[in-house]
Structure 1
């Protein structure tokens, strides 16, 4: 029994180790083979350049305004043909490091990849550069490592008229001067200052004016307007809740306005008004209804 279990464990251990060895052998680095770059001109002779991951194209490839650079190769994952998740041709200006990418068209089964590049595909800044470095970027999900391989240099060739137009366009896109990347001026955000209260002397003047008006109103209320405090017990008996609540709500509203003027913001003031307002409306309607009932009886 013990020997049988040990033999089974040995078999499964050997199987797992063998599988891991095969997986490790299968995984590798994304690379390519059978690569060449062909410069095809309309009505002219095509020039072909061979290159590999270890041997880039010697010298610079001249790309005229009517030429088309055709790059073709076979993408491989380790020793097998494959299709990576990312396959780009990187064109970079060596001094400024300004670069752009061009995706390759890759077939899924055979790994055959190709791309065509002409003057219309290059930005104005790169098109007027003395020389561009070409690199191939391959990478995907999984254990295989990505790779960036320099495959050569191209030299865009422009006639004087086209070069002048592109230089003008480059200055328009990047701004005046030779610096491509430069620090911008500091942006300072200036927010509107908080509203200030008026001077205290003005506030005190209007406060005294309001108090004087209220005092004058109470002075003329009894002899001229017919104020009568003898009806207060009858009013409180007829509406014991409405009259006190209405009077308290009016004082609360004045207190809310005072707090808004001194400390509170608009949101706090609106919240207070939302609480006191309905109380004043409901109790005031009941209190004024009771007053009207007494007035209709001829009681003042």
Structure 2
């Protein structure tokens, strides 16, 4: 069972009109025959009410707490029995247009359809209504016109205690008062703030530590690590492209990191790395290969001198 709350025209009316517009030139229509509504009560006599697409049930049907309303009929597409894609019993409160619908169980070969309705099937905002209208909705794909046929009216019978409990449930479901539609509280979406850079003092401390490390490296490079600028002309002569390109790519990588820290996002940084990274890898391998070959030649020459 599914409940809907509507204002003005019924959603099922729109449903039928939509099918009707698609089937304006159709020669057939969905209808039914041999229809009846039976009130079955435990320990009581069943009451049957006949109805047709053009003749609804006269008067109101009383539905007690222990009663079951059994609706049965034969669905037909024009003059042949059929099984529509949509077959529902529509229960509606006439004043507020609050409605609920219940699917019919339709047999494919015979077109026999039935649905049962009792107090436990109806939500509180319908069960507390003084009167409910019953309609039958039939429609399907194809050229046959959909239809909405009025069955009649049902009056749920409730004792005062049960009605008071249902009224409380009704207020809980749709709110206080008689207004079904009303403005809801404004929903404000709070998104996570963009990540912020650390305080400048922390940035300066780390920058100075990096610069001090680089300065210390250059200080100990020549006396301790054996740095020798006299090898620079030999290196450039042996690999005039690899060494400058490798050095430039390293500077470019540092520049990319700086731009990522100050302006760029992750995608821009990855794009820059995708361009500079292969250049650094290719030129660095060639430059280091030249350095290794030169050191091996110098080591061999020293061994010969000894």
TM over 0.5: yes
- Alpha-carbon offset, residue 41 of structure 1: 0.9
Shift of the 104–205 alpha-carbon distance from structure 1 to 2, 3 Å rule, reads closer
Asked if 1:159 is matched to 2:159, the reply is yes
Residue matched to 1:190: 190
Asked if 1:294 is matched to 2:295, the reply is yes
| 1:76-155 mapped onto 2 (5 Å cutoff) | 76-78=76-78, 80-85=79-84, 86-108=86-108, 111-155=111-155
CA distance in 2, matches of 1:217, 1:109: 92
CA distance in 2, matches of 1:238, 1:111: 93
Alpha-carbon contact 2:83-2:107 (below 8 Å) kept: no
Shift of the 280–57 alpha-carbon distance from structure 1 to 2, 3 Å rule, reads same
Residue matched to 1:268: 268
- Alpha-carbon offset, residue 154 of structure 1: 0.6
| 1:3-82 mapped onto 2 (5 Å cutoff) | 27-78=27-78, 80-82=79-81
Shift of the 152–220 alpha-carbon distance from structure 1 to 2, 3 Å rule, reads same
Structure 2: 5+ residue stretches without partners: 1-25
- Alpha-carbon offset, residue 67 of structure 1: 0.7
- Alpha-carbon offset, residue 210 of structure 1: 5.7
Alpha-carbon contact 1:37-1:72 (below 8 Å) kept: yes
- Alpha-carbon offset, residue 66 of structure 1: 0.9
Alpha-carbon contact 1:27-1:77 (below 8 Å) kept: no
| 1:241-256 mapped onto 2 (5 Å cutoff) | 241-256=241-256
Q: RCO (CA 8 Å, sep 6+): is it higher in 1 or 2?
A: 2
CA distance in 1, matches of 2:40, 2:218: 104
Of residues 248-257 and 108-117 in structure 1, the stretch that sits farther from structure 2 once superposed is 108-117
Residue matched to 1:19: none
Shift of the 38–274 alpha-carbon distance from structure 1 to 2, 3 Å rule, reads same
CA distance in 2, matches of 1:33, 1:149: 12
CA distance in 1, matches of 2:107, 2:246: 84
Structure 1: 5+ residue stretches without partners: 1-25
* TM-score (norm. length: structure 1): 0.73
1:229 alignment partner, SS class: coil
CA distance in 2, matches of 1:129, 1:163: 10
Alpha-carbon contact 1:81-1:110 (below 8 Å) kept: no
CA distance in 1, matches of 2:178, 2:153: 23
- Alpha-carbon offset, residue 48 of structure 1: 2.4
- Alpha-carbon offset, residue 282 of structure 1: 4.6
Q: Deviations over 1:37-71 (max 9, x none)?
A: 22121111222223333332222211011111122
Of residues 127-136 and 99-108 in structure 1, the stretch that sits farther from structure 2 once superposed is 99-108
Shift of the 121–234 alpha-carbon distance from structure 1 to 2, 3 Å rule, reads same
* TM-score (norm. length: structure 2): 0.72
CA distance in 1, matches of 2:148, 2:243: 87
Shift of the 77–192 alpha-carbon distance from structure 1 to 2, 3 Å rule, reads closer
- Alpha-carbon offset, residue 142 of structure 1: 4.0
- Alpha-carbon offset, residue 108 of structure 1: 4.7
